[in-house]
Amino acid sequence: MIEGIYANIIIDISHEKVDRLFQYRIPKPLLGKIIVGMCVIVPFGKGNRERSGYVIEITDTAEYAPEKIKEMIGISDRGILAESSQIRLAAWIREHYGSTMIMALKTVLPARQRTNAVRKRRIVLTVSREQAGEFLKEFQRKHQKARYRLLERIYRDGEISYECGVGELSVAPSVIRALEEKEIVTVVSETEYRNPVRCRGAVRAPVMLSQEQQGIVTEVLADYKGGRPGTYLVHGITGSGKTEVYMELIAGIVGLGRQAIVLIPEIALTYQTVNRFTSRFGDRVSVLHSRLSAGEKYDQCERAKKGEIDIMIGPRSALFTPFQKLGLIIIDEEHETSYKSEAMPKYHARETAQELASYYGASVVLGSATPSLESYYASRHGRIRRFELTRRLTGGSLPQVYVEDLRRELQEGNRSMFSRRLMEKLQQRLEAGEQTMLFLNRRGYAGFVSCRSCGHVMKCPHCDVSLSEHRNGKLMCHYCGYEQPAVKSCPACGSKYILGFRAGTEQIEESLHRLFPDARVLRMDGDTTRKKDSFDEILAAFAGLEADILVGTQMIVKGHDFPHVTLVGILAADLSLHGSDYRSGERTFQLLTQAAGRAGRGERPGEVVIQTYQPEHHSIRYAAKQDYRGFYEEEMGYRELMGYPPVGHMMAVLVIAGEEETGKKVAGRLAKAAGRERAEHLATGADNAGHQVQIIGPAAAAIGRIGGKYRTVFYGKSSSMEALIQVRDRLEAVPVTEQDVTVQFDFDPMNSY
């Protein structure tokens, strides 16, 4: 903690733009007592009105002439507020992931854009019915028609809405006010919060937990009650009952008057998931996700602050729900890459949750069928406690998995996108009236267009990525939205053999229509789910047996429970295998394991067909066997050898510049500063404690240009995260005066740049 004599304060966090900090002097008696996040009273503006504000930073550096800095009045007696923890968290995020304080604040206070709350007004009687009857007679006698009309209706219905009074009964507001003054009626005004969760059906009784499940609940709650909150990993295959464990844990925590946050990847946040929670906890549950309006989001945070709800479900950003007494954070599918923010600050929800939990003395439960190597590694080294759920409770057995070699299919004359095995199995399912899911790790006509004569690939002039061919004949860029008409001949050599690489979900759908004309096919990908509710609609239709086959991108493999699916086909497992970063193998293993987990969740056994050009790859071999441990051991060997996370740590430094040369120059200067001395492509430096930091690059990023800006990247690699953070601090102090340049930091990045 920095000791300092000045405090930088933010006055109004409910303002739409958390835009500036004000500096105050800390009075002598309070020196050393002020901490970040604390609510304090300060004199503000010309009249020095007392306002409360939050301490954001404590520093010894005066922002302007010290004699002009006002002195803070004192510490607010409002106690520890939810906001205090969030502001402390923002300071931690700023320190660990690198960004400005304002950006970090905007991240943790995301839903504070006040929108007009919906107000609901009712007119109610304040006198007895008898007295009201007397007044009615009086109004009639005096021919006070409007008063009579209004009171008569209230007398009849007990109360009416304000709208009814001024609308249907056309009573002027002045008349209503007159009756209020005579204390005959009162206008009751209450804020009506928008509630995005429709609680459907009756509250359901909990299931009887198995011994394995109960063991987890008992131990986690005992630790919590004993004042030993911790972080836990629940490793259990899909269908092993993790969600039931979460719900029982939540019930225990809520029973203690505490609240819980449940993080779920946005993509898996469906009506099915939310329904399970609402049918257990009723309207004490709410959700936060990107499809809510700003007003709906704001209201959910208000409800959480006021204690109207106990449980918030949502993706990454739901972590910042301002609960007063947080007791538990659950992160389901904790290995998901979407828990890492892609915008600055590039925080990871798992690490951030642990920090937040420490402020409240809350516990963190991570759950996954395929834990991240980070979490599993931490559990192997005793830093977090691991539980295993080994049995599938749905009764269904593990699916039979076939790996089909596409090279052999081609050699033997099968040029279609379906192996012979997959076609045969599909046919069987259609005849038996069972459902199939086909999965492709791509969207739309993602296939690029290339010339078979000279190899020229059609690219976006702004982004340097290949354009995708869409059914309407246009070529589109998925980064910036640029589009152009399809070309009939190669712009480079004039050949007519310029063709799309057809391997998108749309094309699979078309092939299915050709091969199985009677099959009912649904498609789910980025293009078909852009509308607010279409995602749920497609899933509901498939769950309602309105289709035989669901074709989709990775979004269909997450967490949905379709008991009638007995066949899952993975059309090109290789698509995720050949990404250009060290996590590709892990990502492929996770995707395949999860996709396979979709099959046979009901009573009938499931089958899975994985099609690949590389059946010998360890990600594919272990996924086919559903062998997490085997995969972990082999993959860790590679990470250890290379010093990749979780063994070591990486920091990406991304320089984004309007001019290519400027970007290269700045990146070069920063890389040099990071490594202190620099050889051709490799430099090493050391932090204060002597940890080595290896600098790789700089080089043009894999996608060298996005939205007209050039991207240059270099990496720092070290066994010590602290060493990387020190390097980052050093780099932040390097002046960058060039025009139109931004520098971003990303620790343990999820993708290569």
Q: Which residues bind Zn ion (CB under 5 A)?
A: 451, 453-454, 456, 460, 462-463, 477, 479-480, 482, 490, 492-493, 495
**H/E run at residue 183:** none
399 sits near ligand ADP (criterion: CB under 6 A)? no
Q: Which does residue 487 touch among ligand ADP, Zn ion, none (CB within 5 to 8 A, set by kind)?
A: none
CA-only gyration radius of the chain, Å: 30
Nearest distance from residue 386's CB to ligand ADP, in Å?
Answer: 15
Using the contact rule CB under 6 A, the part of the chain among 124-132, 208-216, 405-413, 478-486 near ligand ADP is 208-216
**H/E run at residue 514:** helix 505-515
- Count of CA atoms in the C-beta half-sphere (13 A) of 465: 24
Nearest distance from residue 488's CB to Zn ion, in Å?
Answer: 12
| Residue 473 φ/ψ region, left for φ over 0, alpha for ψ in the -120 to 50 degree band, beta for the rest | left
Q: Which does residue 451 touch among Zn ion, ligand ADP, none (CB within 5 to 8 A, set by kind)?
A: Zn ion
Of 98, 165, 229, 241, the residue at the interface with ligand ADP (CB under 6 A) is 241
Nearer to Zn ion (CB atom), residue 465 or residue 565: 465
Using the contact rule CB under 6 A, the part of the chain among 3-11, 234-242, 432-440, 645-653 near ligand ADP is 234-242
Beta bridge partners of 369: none
Q: Residue 626: which of 664, 595, 671, 652 has the closest Cα?
A: 595
Using the contact rule CB under 6 A, the part of the chain among 233-241, 513-521, 537-545, 574-582 near ligand ADP is 233-241
Q: How far apart are CA 367 and CA 652, in angstroms?
A: 28
User: Do 501 and 447 contact (CB within 8 A), yes or no?
Assistant: yes
Residue 500 three-state SS: strand
Beta bridge partners of 743: 655
Nearest distance from residue 240's CB to ligand ADP, in Å?
Answer: 4
Q: Residue 496 CB: number of other CB atoms within 10 A?
A: 11
Beta bridge partners of 241: none
Nearer to ligand ADP (CB atom), residue 216 or residue 741: 216
Nearer to Zn ion (CB atom), residue 86 or residue 466: 466
Of 393, 503, 636, 696, the residue at the interface with ligand ADP (CB under 6 A) is 393
242 sits near ligand ADP (criterion: CB under 6 A)? yes
273 sits near ligand ADP (criterion: CB under 6 A)? no
Q: How far apart are CA 695 and CA 651, in angstroms?
A: 9
Q: How far apart are CA 86 and CA 318, in angstroms?
A: 12
709 sits near ligand ADP (criterion: CB under 6 A)? no
Nearer to Zn ion (CB atom), residue 479 or residue 582: 479
Q: Which two tokens stand for residue 106?
A: 């905007």
User: Do 298 and 367 contact (CB within 8 A), yes or no?
Assistant: no
Interaction pattern, residues 212-231, with ligand ADP; x per rule: CB under 6 A: -x------------------
Q: How far apart are CA 398 and CA 624, in angstroms?
A: 11
704 sits near ligand ADP (criterion: CB under 6 A)? no
Of 8, 86, 231, 238, the residue at the interface with ligand ADP (CB under 6 A) is 238
Beta bridge partners of 451: 498
Q: Residue 648: which of 717, 560, 573 has the closest Cα?
A: 717
Of 18, 55, 209, 538, the residue at the interface with ligand ADP (CB under 6 A) is 209
Nearest distance from residue 354's CB to ligand ADP, in Å?
Answer: 22
Q: What is the Cα 209 distance to its own chain's centre?
A: 29
Of 84, 86, 243, 619, the residue at the interface with ligand ADP (CB under 6 A) is 243
Of 57, 83, 244, 687, the residue at the interface with ligand ADP (CB under 6 A) is 244
Q: Catalog residues that contact ligand ADP under the rule CB under 6 A.
A: 207-210, 213, 236, 238-244, 393-394
